[in-house]
Amino acid sequence: MQTIFRVSDNSGVKSVRCLKVIGGFKKKVAKIGDKIIVSVRKVKSSTRKYKIVKGDILQAIIVGCKTKIIRFNGVSISYKINSVVLFNQKKLLGTRILIPLIKEFRSTKYMKFISLSTNLL
């Protein structure tokens, strides 16, 4: 909680701050694939399409995290930045995801993110 994330889609938002981690009683730590509630901190100047302003409360999925993810075959993956993808009421705000996603998203209910991403890790 209170972590600053960079937004990795083309929704017009630059950075957000985590307010709450969804899922579980008093859950404080999130990993890749978890849903969080965020507050908008910085917005690009041309966000007329979605009408997002500073201070809006949105939902997001974590798609990149600095902590290591260790797969079953022993390979560890980590990103250089913490990044999220914004959505509102199960509708994505952006039309592209600008970073490669990990293959573990295939087994979750977020297959829409796989089709919008550039490539997989």
Q: How many domains does the chain have?
A: 1
Q: Which domain holds residue 37?
A: 4-95
What pTM was estimated for this model as a whole?
0.86
Asked whether residue 41 is domain-assigned, the answer is yes
Asked whether residue 78 is domain-assigned, the answer is yes
Residue 99 three-state SS: coil
- Per-residue confidence (pLDDT) for residue 105, from 0 to 100: 79
Q: Rounded mean pLDDT of 76-90?
A: 89
Asked whether residue 49 is domain-assigned, the answer is yes
Asked whether residue 113 is domain-assigned, the answer is no
Asked whether residue 87 is domain-assigned, the answer is yes
- Per-residue confidence (pLDDT) for residue 108, from 0 to 100: 72
Residue type, 7: V
Paired tokens of 64: 């990149």
Alpha carbons 96 and 11: distance in angstroms, whole number: 9
DSSP secondary structure of 31-68:
-TT-EEEEEEEEE-S--TTTT--TT-EEEEEEEE-SS-
The most confident of the ranges 51-55, 65-69, 102-106 is: 65-69
Radius of gyration of the CA atoms of the chain, in A: 14
Asked whether residue 107 is domain-assigned, the answer is no
Contacts 24+ apart (CB under 8 A), 66-69: 67/31, 69/31, 69/32, 69/102, 69/104
Higher pLDDT, 6 or 115: 6
Asked whether residue 106 is domain-assigned, the answer is no
Residue 13 belongs to domain with CATH number: 2.40.150.20
Higher pLDDT, 110 or 36: 36
Asked whether residue 101 is domain-assigned, the answer is no
Alpha carbons 65 and 8: distance in angstroms, whole number: 12
